[in-house]
């Protein structure tokens, strides 16, 4: 399991324990063309996930070249995916589904999974809002099921009822887990996100 910390600015404070950094390229610190310069990429010294909610309009080609992964929404057009692979043939695709209102039922998650697989991802990702603890149980069951098929997956629930997926998802097969750099709400990219320190405390790790 890889520990991922999203970064919204070029301040790397609190990221030393991360295995991977996810850079949000639509945040002000990275909206300028070629904001991810090789000098800054070398300073990171970690693999980078390129995160953009609208790569059709805001794709930074130089940043794509320097990234190990790219996180794309399930609705990303195939032509954009092909363009990204031309820019960086080695980049790994994370195709993701987000639902900020609810966690779909198991049968619907399976349908979404099939839709994601048509994009030929290296990693599938599901991030949904948990209205109750039962949603977290359902997501973890789904994660365990697809992980048994040797599919690299990231399945997490947002919100206070999603905590279980954030502290125990790795036990069910999560390929990556996401953490905030600090406890401050301004550093979090999703509701319910915890720090690596908090994760270690929950799991009795040093």
- Asked if residues 88 and 64 have their Cβ atoms less than 8 Å apart, the reply is yes
Q: What is the pLDDT of residue 13?
A: 86
Is 204 a residue whose pLDDT tops 90? no
Cβ atoms within 10 Å, residue 38: 11
CATH number of 2-202: 3.20.20.70
> Of 51, 90, 57, which Cα lies nearest the Cα of 71?
51
Residue 79, classed as helix, strand or coil, is: helix
- Encode pLDDT of 30-48 as tens digits: 766 666 666 676 778 899 9
- pLDDT bin (cut points 50, 70, 90) of residue 102 is very high
**CA-to-CA distance for 166 and 93, rounded, in angstroms?**
22
- Encode pLDDT of 130-166 as tens digits: 999 999 999 999 999 999 988 999 999 999 999 999 9
204 compared with 161, residue with greater pLDDT: 161
| 53: Cα within 13 Å, side-chain hemisphere | 6
Strand 176-178 to 92-99 pairing:
unpaired
Average of per-residue pLDDT across 70-91: 96
Is 186 a residue whose pLDDT tops 90? no
């Amino acid at each position: 399991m890889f520990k991922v910390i999203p970064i919204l600015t070029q301040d790397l404070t609190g990221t030393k324990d991360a295995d991977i950094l996810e850079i949000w390229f639509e945040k002000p610190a990275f909206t300028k063309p070629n904001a991810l310069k090789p000098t800054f990429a070398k300073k990171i010294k970690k693999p980078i996930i390129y995160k953009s909610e609208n790569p059709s309009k805001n794709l930074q080609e130089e940043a794509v070249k320097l990234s190990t992964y790219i996180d794309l929404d399930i609705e990303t057009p195939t032509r954009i995916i092909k363009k990204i692979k031309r820019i960086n043939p080695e980049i790994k695709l994370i195709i993701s589904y987000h639902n900020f209102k609810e966690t779909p039922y198991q049968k619907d998650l399976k349908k979404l999974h099939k839709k994601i697989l048509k994009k030929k991802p290296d990693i599938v990702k599901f991030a949904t809002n948990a209205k109750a603890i039962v949603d977290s149980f359902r997501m973890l069951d789904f994660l365990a099921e697809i992980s048994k098929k040797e599919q690299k997956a990231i399945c997490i629930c947002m919100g206070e009822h999603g905590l279980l997926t954030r502290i125990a998802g790795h036990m069910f097969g999560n390929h990556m887990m996401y953490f905030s750099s600090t406890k401050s709400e301004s550093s979090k990219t999703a509701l319910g996100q915890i720090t690596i320190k908090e994760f270690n405390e929950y799991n009795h790790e040093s």
